[in-house]
Amino acid sequence: MDKEVAKIYKNLSDFQKLQLARHLDRPYSLDYINMIMRDKYEIHGDRHFRDDPAILCYMGYIGDEKVMVIGEQKGRGTKNKLKRNFGMPHPEGYRKALRAAKLAEKFDIPVFMLVDTPGAYPGIGAEERNQSEAIARNLLEFAELKIPTISVVIGEGGSGGALAIGVADKFAMMRYSIFSVISPEGCAAILWNDPKKVETATNALKITSADLKELDLVDDVLDEPLIGAHREKEKAAEVLKQYFLDEVKKLKEMSPQERMDARYAKLTKPGEFRDSNDVPESTSLLDSFLKPKNDKEDKKVEEKKIEEVKEKEVEKMKEEEKEEETKA
């Protein structure tokens, strides 16, 4: 029986992996926090508006390592889901996450982020409190942190809601997690106006850990149990814990400036443009636009082209004259 189950899980489609990422029994951030942390203390509030239960911030220990853990929490059961807003953070949630990260930087301890959200909350209140600014601010501030940062997608990684705590020195995904600019349902509705196209959209979006690793958009894929983290939660937690301890050890061997330089290089790599004719291989499309133009050099090239055309015309005229003389 176990062999048959393993065989099935080895051949899952992208759509089936999406279902696993959303499985109701899949461990959420709070489950992992309780399994891998000790002597923990929760931080509440963003010091601007209120506390957002959709974002969890805990200071404590993972093994012997002091750490700040920031996670997105979906909640279980009707009351808890409403309390956690189904894992869709408000602006104050992202501001709380930034506050926790800055606190970690002050105490010189690493930050470990657990991504699990269908997306940032798109409600009127969230927009009134500037949701887009909160996300953009996190992208900027997390990119400039001088401490080691590690982010792992443990379930759903939905668009900007995931990116807001996804900027890190190391960005990884659990085997059956997903990371996407839009939900497959949203993609099917926009492109085909047909909810039956969800599976087609899932395959087209390339949202699985394997696809994103192949595209070099994630650093690592964590080998959660083959039959899913929801079936073997303790093993999945141990994989997550060990990954953090291994990677933070490597990151601590680097200086803050080395980490920031490597982080910047990684974040600016996706979308790099290469054209062997016009742009050097190591130059991005943005760099090619920003590169100062040499008007004098361009003018010389243009003049040379004009002279070449003139010479060809003169040669053509001489040949025509010779032909006329021969006929005469």
Over residues 14-49, the pLDDT tens digits come to: 999 999 999 999 999 999 999 999 999 999 999 999
pLDDT of residue 288: 46
Distances (CA, A) of 303 to 245, 292, 299, 300, 308: 63, 21, 6, 5, 9
* Distance from C-alpha of 288 to C-alpha of 175, rounded to nearest angstrom: 37
Q: Is 108 helix (H, G, I), strand (E, B) or coil?
A: coil
Percent of the chain with pLDDT over 90: 65
Cα atoms found within 13 Å of the Cα of residue 30, Cβ hemisphere only? 13
List CB contacts of 74: < 8 A, sequence separation 6 or more.
Answer: 28, 81, 84, 86, 87, 116, 117, 155
Output 313 or 96, whichever has higher pLDDT: 96
The Cα 163–Cα 310 span in angstroms is 57
Q: What is the pLDDT of residues 272-289, one digit of tens each?
A: 666 555 554 544 444 544
User: Span 158-168, mean pLDDT?
Assistant: 92
Please state, in angstroms and as integers, the Cα–Cα distance from residue 164 to each residue in 16, 18, 224, 313, 326, following that order.
Answer: 26, 21, 24, 62, 81
pTM confidence score: 0.80
**Distance from the Cα of residue 66 to its chain's centroid:** 25
Q: Alpha carbon of 150 to those of 16, 81, 129, 245, 249: distances in Å?
A: 27, 26, 28, 10, 11
The span from the CA of 266 to the CA of 39, in Å, is 34
Residue 181: φ, ψ to 5°: -75, -20
- Residue 324, pLDDT > 70, answer yes
Summarize pLDDT for 104-120 with one digit per residue, the tens. 999 999 999 999 999 99
3-class secondary-structure state, position 132: helix
Mean pLDDT rounded to a whole number for the chain: 88
Tokens 């189950």 locate to 5
